[in-house]
Amino acid sequence: MDFRDTPEQATWRNEVRTFLETEKPKIDPEMNPMEAMRRGGGFMKEWREKLSRKGWVAPAWPKEYGGASLSVMEQFIMNEEFAEARAMNVGGMGTSMIGPTLIIHGNEEQKKEHLGAILRGEVQWCQGYSEPGSGSDLASLQTRAVRDGDDFVLNGQKIWTSGAHTADWMFMLARTDPDAPKHRGITYFLMDMKSPGVTVRPLINMANGHMFNEVFFEDVRVPARNVLGEVNRGWYIGTTTLDFERSSIGNAVGQRQTLEYYMKFWKDSRGTAATASASTKARDEFADRWIEAATAKMLSYRVITIQAEGRVPNHEASIAKLFNTELSQRIARSAMKMIGTSAQLMGPEAPMKGRAPASYVQTVSSTIAGGTSEVQRNIVATRGLGLPRA
């Protein structure tokens, strides 16, 4: 593998880097980027406008729909530089999930109604896929949608719905033919979250944060014009994406930056009460974590190399996801050991303002969200190693 940029890639990297150096909003480096985004107000609007003018809100989208038509390697370089600069992406699920699906499967009326609003940040979207009995086996979902004149009437429940409490619209799957095989008979809907009969209830996580929700549907009427694609073909539409780079380079860079933060804290507070109880073994763990962060970056490079060659990463992406999420948990545990008994404290007066214990509890879900570690290992075993299914 050649890690050097081609002349064209070097020019592109310099363009992205120069833009970030001159245009990126100045935020408190101690603040989590998502928290900064929530508090951003005016500067986030200005940042979105700057990105929008360059087509960088949704850089993979075709230019005709407001994107920049970037190749996967150009996206990779852009994502890597954004991660290194701790710059915030602003698209969310609108640009990464429902937007690409609309571009491929939506009719002109649907594209006109939704794509511009997504790019301008006027609406927020959430995903209605998982159900209490349908997690890894999503095709077993039971939320029903029954045709009634010009509408479909929805009844059922979704769970672990990120951002449902702030979303304006939901893209969702519901069963429209209960007698069909489970991967068939599912339809893809665009649903206004303000529709009568929609109830959102918060799910508070271990860190006392609110991101997930459960959503209930009681005789919710969704106009038939809000069906995306064909009725009963929603499963196949739901797997649609554009040619996104899938290297997770942002996660790999973020792991290293987290380690740098913890190591700086250790050096600055060495010998103080905050770290006095940390053992030599716990400190030495950071050498292992640093090597693992470098490994995560190499796994990302492997995925993008496959994509740049026009191939589709499969088990390679699962390896990168599995390694990154379990590494985040190991980093959090090492930080807790480094601080010692003070790591039990949270709040503004705690060491690092409680970042280590907050990360410790938050990363518990990282090996569940986006496909559990068990599912990823099965993919690696069957598709990567060619092992038989149990």
Per-residue pLDDT of the chain (390 residues; tens, 9 = 90+): 668 899 999 999 999 999 999 999 876 655 555 555 555 556 788 899 999 999 999 999 999 999 999 999 999 999 999 999 999 888 889 998 999 999 999 999 999 999 999 999 899 999 999 999 887 788 899 999 999 999 999 999 999 999 999 999 999 999 999 999 988 999 999 999 999 999 999 999 887 889 899 999 999 999 999 999 999 999 999 888 777 888 999 999 999 999 999 988 888 876 565 554 555 676 788 899 999 999 999 999 999 999 999 898 989 999 999 999 999 999 999 999 888 888 888 888 888 889 999 999 999 989 988 888 998 999 999 999 999 986
Q: Pick the closest to residue 169 from 210, 223, 108 (CA basis).
A: 223
Pairing of strands 125-128, 169-175: parallel
Q: Please provide residue 155's backbone torsions phi and psi, each rounded to the nearest 5 degrees.
A: -140, 135
Instruction: Choose, from 245, 285, 292, 316, the residue flagged as catalytic.
Output: 245
Catalytic residue flag (residue 285): no
One of 2.40.110.10, 2.170.150.70, 3.40.980.10, 3.90.1480.20 is the CATH number of 125-237, namely 2.40.110.10
| CATH code at 249-384 | 1.20.140.10
One of 1.10.540.10, 3.30.1330.10, 1.10.10.60, 1.10.3720.10 is the CATH number of 7-90, namely 1.10.540.10
Domain(s) of CATH 2.40.110.10: residues in the chain: 125-237
b/e for 176-201, b at 16 or more Cβ within 10 A? beeeeeeebbbbbbbbebeeeebebe
Specify the pTM: 0.87
